[in-house]
Structure 1
Amino acid sequence: MSRSGARVPRRLTRWWRGRSLRTRMTVIAATAIAVSVFVAFQVASELMDRKLLETAENQLHADSRVLATNAERAGLAQVQLPPYPGSGRLARVILPDGSTRTPAGQPELPPVSEQARRVAEGASTDLLESTDWNDGYRVYTLRVGDGAVQVADLADDSPINEFGFGMLLIGLLCMAGGALVGRTVARTALAPIDRLTAAAVHVAQTRDLDADIPDEGGGEIRQLVQSINDMLAALRDSRQAQRLLAEDAAHELKTPLTSLRLNVELLIRLDRRGTLDSALPAESRTRLLNDLGAQVAELSTLAAELTDLARGDVSDESTELIDFADVVVAAATRAGSRAPDMEIVLDVTPVWVSGRPAALQRAVLNLVDNAGKWSPVDQPIQVRLRAEGASAVLEVDDAGPGIDAADVPRVFDRFYRADSARALPGSGLGLSIVQRVVDAHGGRATVARSARGGALLRVDLPAASPPTARPLFTAGKDTAAR
């Protein structure tokens, strides 16, 4: 195919894609009707042509038999041939010597063909042939005695032509009607889509996510409307979650920022007066600076946790098959390095899971850090990992005061801090991040009271088959990490 020939389909494709759905439906309806009319015309023309030909041939046979009967009675040379009336079929007698007789006034027929002469000589009994002479004749030759008789009629295509012209007019009318019907059907069928589009445009322009689109129509239209309403509901939930996150963050940031601002203003005011050393003894100044450092650290932690929480499930980290025991050991080691006075006892066995290593390590680290806030210095934090059925079960057990029954339902809520935890450092986001990571991995996080009276935080993750068999490994079992 040449380049110019290849451009035509591409142009038609671009043109078609640029049309509206209503126009496409109209064109499809009109084209379907046009094709149907064309096929019907072809079939009808073929059937009509065959029927007319069959009728003409039967009439030729009948007329030739009548003429042959008369010729047998009177003889080929004496049979009476009535004068030609001016229209109708033509007749001719072929004598034994090859000469012919025709009615008076009859138009000249085509010369006797070689096949017709052989019929007259006895080679066969009859012959039907068509000629292209003048307008074209159908000639039937029937042997009679030592000669033959012929009956011919003019091949007339006018009925077929008239029928075709009529079908053409009908086809054009059907195409116009099909386009009109297609346009009407498209307008009716797409009316719900138009209303749906208008509602979606309204939502996009007004940002009003509370405006549900009316559920109308059936089948695919209803499914589409329900899907869009579900999407709007998800957007409303997302916007509400963002608003709550912003409000909670502002509330949590207010206290440390206020304290930090007051302390800094105090230092600036005393320094301007030149009374910093006299007004703030070395011990008080050291305590104030330590408070400032703690407040800055708290703000940094809060900002990091807010960033991590606001990202949701968005992460560049890919999911991979990992040994959860390695993640737990790494998180416990990291927690021990950040808090050297915290004792961590590990009792873990290899359990393979499919997940994001960094996210899971952050979740385990938050669990251990949370336990470290409550567990007494002389009581270790117990971290256990085991396979239980089709799950990898992680338990972090502390010897603290435990969690009140009233606080259990809200332990994993963002910014939630029990009354007893108000004086402790933290933002109230650690366990919320744990909940999000566990949910993203298809697991479940729960809280209960441990046998030592403290809190028992448990995480269940779907276990996976290990890539290859490996010997049993107990990471730091019954050992302490400091």
Structure 2
Amino acid sequence: MSRPADREPRRLTRWWRRRSLRTRLTVIAATAIAVSVFLAFQVAIELLDWELRHTTEDQLRADSRVLATNAERTGLAQVQLPPYSGSGRLVRVILPDGSTRTPVGQPALPPVSEHAGRVAQGASADLLESTDSDDDFLIYTLRAGDGAVQVAGVADESQTDQLGLGMLLIGLFCVVGGALVGRAVARTGLAPIDRLAAAAVRVAHTLDLDADIPDEGGGEIRQLIGSINDMLAALRDSRQAQRLLAEDAAHELKTPLTSLRLNIELLIRLDRRGTLDSGLPSESRTRLLNDLGAQVIELSTLAAELTDLARGDVSDESTELIDLADVVVAAATQAGSRAPDIEIALDVTSVWVSGRPAALQRAVLNLIDNAGKWSPADQPVQVRLRTEGASAVLEVDDAGPGIDAADVPRVFDRFYRAESARALPGSGLGLSIVQRVVDAHGGRATVARSPRGGALLRVDLPAASIARLTAGEDTAVR
């Protein structure tokens, strides 16, 4: 249980954190000036005190020498003491027997101290001492003849008081002025932040990501505005990409959905008339049902690819140290089961990489499926995996017509399909997914012409280092 004394600093801290930045800057400026004025006041007072004391001491020494000279010439008992004027210095003569003489009407001085008595006896040199009385006398004792003379004075504190009052007034003025200046500086310095906040609020309310925030100010302000503009640009690109994905998806879905709707409407119309068997020959009905099945498969494939593509790099799959040869073999087996009439020739060697097995298998499967669409029935799809330097190189080629030079730059674009591929099944997303998976693994995907005249798609992935293989790092990491 915290004590009340512990709660006060916490309460003060919470109060301070709730203040605006302007208020903080104003308080800091006023406090800094107040501390500076206080320190300057203390230094000035100390210097003035030292100067006044030094001046008083010099005056006492000079007066003591004059009185001592007169006392030695006329004697301590006969020396004429200056009359007391009601203020100023006080004098006293210490006779050899220890008694003292003072001017008539002069206020009494403190008793002769032991050290002053030794000076009068010649046992010690001249002496300057201060008393602890309310008047705080400074007494200078100087040996003269068989005794000593003393001259006492009080330091004039009126100048110190006047200086203190002046410094106090100046300090208050400086604190108030510092607070006003701090407020003005805070308002001027934070003006770009205010405009930045207003622009951010406007963007949040209007959802207008095209309104860049004007670049103003310098240093950290300019860096902050630049970062926010970069963020807005990234959001614009993301929204544009989402819009394009939605538009392209709607365009790609339109054709199979239209065909599917027309075929279903035909079946429904014939069924309502009761002429399904007579109005649609068996051969036509079989072809229609096959078309329906193909269209449903095409829609399912497109929906799955859209879902996978829309997820981007977000995946719950962990990164593992895997043998890419196992992934390639599994993908080839899956491709063979989906298209039994496609022959796949494997030439793979063991290459270890760090990656997500399911994502990599999906990418390899898409490469093989793409090659299978173009490879002639009597020509196999060749899949090769090897190590080349510090990279794992995967090549998939077919003996088809190849890719036109005009289509090469857009092969990996979403929904892009060459003119020659429009009649073939597919969504135009397969190679785009390949590109995304390869990029997520720090690799590179390229396209070239195969020695057999078809397309050669190549994927380069960073191979796992020998140190990791030696250490046996096979645990999954995020």
- Mark yes or no: TM-score above 0.5: yes
Contact 2:84 2:105 in 1 (8 A): yes
1:163 equivalenced with 2:149 (yes/no): no
Give the structure 2 partner of residue 479 of structure 1.
none
Distance in 1 (CA, whole Å) between partners of 2:45 and 2:329 is 87
Q: Does the C-alpha gap of structure 1 residues 432 and 2 become closer, same or farther in structure 2, counting only changes over 3 Å?
A: closer
Q: Deviations over 1:101-135 (max 9, x none)?
A: 11111111111122222222233112222212232
Q: How does 1:242-281 map to 2 (within 5 A)?
A: 242-281=242-281
Match of 2:142 in 1: 142
How far residue 309 of structure 1 moved from its aligned partner, in angstroms, is 0.9
Tell me the SS of whatever aligns to 2:141: strand
Taking the aligned partners of 2:329 and 2:79, their CA distance within structure 1 comes to 125
Alignment of 1:419-458 (within 5 A): 419-458=419-458
Q: Distance in 2 between matches of 1:303 and 1:24?
A: 56
What is the deviation of 1:26? 1.6
Counterpart residue type for residue 183 of structure 1: R
Moved over 4 A (4+): none
Matched, 1:468 2:463: no
Q: Secondary structure, in 3 states, of the residue corresponding to 1:118?
A: helix
- In the alignment, what sits opposite 2:197? 197
Higher mean C-alpha displacement, 318-327 vs 365-374: 318-327
Q: Does 1:368 align with 2:394?
A: no
Letter in 2 for 1:103: P
- Percentage identity across aligned positions? 85
Question: What residue is the counterpart of 1:407 in the other structure?
Answer: 407
What per-residue deviation string (whole Å, max 9, x for no partner) do you get for residues 283-311 of structure 1?
33232222212111111111111111111
What's the offset of the Cα at 1:238?
A: 1.1
Deviations 1:157-200 (A, max 9, x none): 33323222221211111111111111111122122222222222
The within-5 A match list for 1:96-175 is 96-175=96-175
**Residue 328 of structure 1: aligned partner:** 328
Contact 2:56 2:155 (C-alpha < 8 Å) held by counterparts: no
SS at match of 2:190: helix
The offset of 1:357, in angstroms, is 2.6
For residues 198 and 85 of structure 1, what CA distance do their matches in structure 2 show?
77
Partners of 1:387 and 1:50 lie apart in 2 by 87
Instruction: Report the CA distance between 1:470 and its aligned residue.
Output: 10
- 1:94 Cα shift? 1.0
Partner of 2:395 in structure 1?
A: 395
What amino acid is the match of 1:149?
A: V
AA of the residue aligned to 1:373? K
Name the CA distance, whole Å, in 2 between partners of 1:296 and 1:194.
Answer: 56
Counterpart of 1:362, as a letter, is: R
2:415 alignment partner AA: F
TM-score normalized by the length of structure 1: 0.92
State the distance in 2 between where 1:270 and 1:301 align. Answer: 29
SS of 1:180's partner is helix
1:311 and 2:311 correspond: yes
Structure 1 pair 26–103 and aligned structure 2 pair: CA distance change class (3 A): same
Q: Is the contact between residue 52 and residue 156 of structure 2 (CA under 8 Å) also seen in structure 1?
A: no
Cα distance change of structure 1 residues 355 and 170 upon mapping to structure 2, 3 Å threshold: farther
Which shows bigger deviation, 265-274 or 367-376?
265-274
Q: Is the 8 A contact 2:91 2:149 kept in 1?
A: yes
Tell me whether 310-319 or 165-174 shows the greater mean CA deviation: 310-319
* Preserved CA contact (<8 Å) 2:52 2:155: no
Residues 204-228 of structure 1: CA distance to partner in whole angstroms, max 9, x if unpaired? 2211111122222222222222222
The equivalent of 2:290 in structure 1 is 290
Single out whichever of 406-415 and 15-24 deviates more from structure 2.
Answer: 15-24
Deviations 1:338-372 (CA, angstroms, capped at 9, x unpaired): 33333222222333333333222221121111111
Instruction: Tell me the secondary structure at the aligned position of residue 125 of structure 1.
Output: coil
Q: Given the alignment of the two structures, is residue 183 of structure 1 paired with residue 186 of structure 2, yes or no?
A: no
Quote the residue 1:63 is aligned against.
63
Aligned to 2:476: none
Answer yes or no: is the 8 Å Cα contact 2:322–2:353 preserved in 1.
yes
Tell me the residue number matched to 2:11: 11
Q: Secondary structure at the match of 1:468?
A: helix
Mapped to 1, the partners of 2:439 and 2:31 lie a distance apart of 54
8 Å CA contact 2:53–2:155 kept in 1: the answer is no
CA distance in 1, matches of 2:54, 2:353: 83
* Residues 82 and 104 in structure 1, CA contact (< 8 A), matched pair in contact too: no
Q: Is the CA contact 1:135–1:155 (under 8 Å) kept in the aligned structure 2? A: no
Q: Give the direction of change, closer, same or farther, for the CA distance of 1:219–1:72 in structure 2 (3 Å limit).
A: same
Going from structure 1 to structure 2, the CA distance change for 1:164 and 1:327 (only over 3 Å counts) comes to farther
Q: How far apart, in 1, do the equivalents of 2:127 and 2:207 lie? A: 87
Q: d(CA) in 1 for partners of 2:329 and 2:144?
A: 117
Whole-angstrom distance in 2 between the partners of 1:54 and 1:320: 85
Q: Give the letter aligned to residue 130 of structure 2.
A: S
Instruction: Report the AA paired with residue 157 of structure 1.
Output: E
What's the counterpart of residue 480 of structure 1? none
State the match for 1:236 in structure 2. 236
Closer, same or farther in 2 for the Cα pair 1:356/1:144, shift >3 Å? Answer: farther
Measured against aligned partners, the alpha-carbon deviations of 1:388-414 in whole angstroms (never above 9, x if no partner) come to 233322211111121112211111111
CA distance in 2, matches of 1:220, 1:460: 41
Does the 8 Å contact 1:345/1:380 carry over to 2? Answer: yes
Measured in 1, the distance between the counterparts of 2:411 and 2:162 equals: 89
> What is the aligned-residue RMSD (CA, Å)?
2.0
Q: Judging changes above 3 Å, is the alpha-carbon distance between structure 1 residues 116 and 448 closer, same or farther for their aligned structure 2 residues?
A: same
Letter in structure 2 aligned against 1:348: V
Q: Which moved more, 1:346-355 or 1:54-63?
A: 346-355
Q: For 2:311 and 2:66, how far apart are their aligned partners in 1? A: 102
CA distance in 1, matches of 2:26, 2:375: 75
For 2:91, the aligned partner's letter is A
Query: Amino acid of the residue matched to residue 384 of structure 1?
Result: R
Shift of 1:2: 6.0
Deviates more, 1:174-183 or 1:278-287: 278-287
Task: Kindly provide the CA deviation profile for residues 15-67 of structure 1, in whole angstroms up to 9, marking residues without a partner as x.
Answer: 22222222222222212211211222222222222222222222222221222
Q: Deviation per CA, 1:418-462, whole angstroms, max 9, x where unpaired?
A: 122122211100001111122222322111110011110011223
